[in-house]
Amino acid sequence: MNLKLFPSFLTYTFATEYKNMELKQQILFKAMEMFMRYGIKSITMDDLSRKLGISKKTLYRFVDNKGDLINKIFEIETAKEKEMVTKITNESKDAIDEILGIAKLVIQQLREYSPTLIYDLQKYYRESWMKIEAYHSEYVYGIIKTNLERGIKEGYYRENLNADIIAKLYVEQTLSVVNEDTFPLKEYNREKLYKAFINYHIHGIASPSGIKLLEQYHYEE
């Protein structure tokens, strides 16, 4: 290679990589936006490519198929969620404040997601849904177990709680909230379901001082 052309070659390479990275982010962002609004099943790759103003050939340079697209979005969304949960945990005054902050985050997500998004994942994209279940069984379980241990230590949760069992019950119950067989979308509002669950969860684990603290935070059932 002509060494005089080497800096220009590097500039071109970096510029190309940057554009590719930028386009990939646009694809993932737009896909997530459309899935959140309309659900997954109703959005085709043709719809997405038209919305982005690119060809399907270009789209398939960045994702193998719709399932791969969903998995890439899942990785981004879980990374964002972990950042937000870490912020909530670090800024919380106590275990009650922390679990309420996490609950507010979940409620915000439920408001943003199309009611059919989770149903579509469960029915048509089992591989992606299994990753979500694994994420809950590992990461969410760990967060709740740590919160329980913190609350017991602070005296706001009952001291005879088994943190391992309660954390696993929490995970299973949150997944049941979005179970179409148990709570059909036509009959149950996901946000109301989760609010009922988190109210049940906190009152089931809180000590008398924890209940008083909960009232001080003006928690809305």
Question: pLDDT tens, 28-55?
Answer: 999 999 998 888 999 999 999 999 898 9
Residues of the chain with CATH 1.10.357.10: 66-221
CATH of 1-63, one of 1.10.10, 3.30.1400, 1.10.20, 1.10.3470: 1.10.10
Residues of the chain with CATH 1.10.10: 1-63
Average pLDDT on 7-16 reads 46
- DSSP one-letter code for 39: -
Alpha-carbon span 18 to 125, nearest angstrom: 31
SS3 for 157? Answer: strand
Question: pLDDT tens, 159-216?
Answer: 999 999 999 999 999 988 888 888 988 899 989 999 999 999 999 999 999 999 999 9
Question: pLDDT tens, 117-152?
Answer: 888 888 899 888 899 999 999 999 999 999 999 999
Contact 177, 193 (CB under 8 A): yes
Alpha-carbon span 149 to 215, nearest angstrom: 21
Alpha-carbon span 40 to 116, nearest angstrom: 8
pLDDT given for residue 7 in this prediction: 56
Alpha-carbon span 21 to 53, nearest angstrom: 17
Q: How is domain 66-221 classified at the CATH fold level? A: Tetracycline Repressor; domain 2 (1.10.357)
Residue among 174, 198, 50 nearest 118 (CA): 174
Element (H, E) at 48: helix 45-52
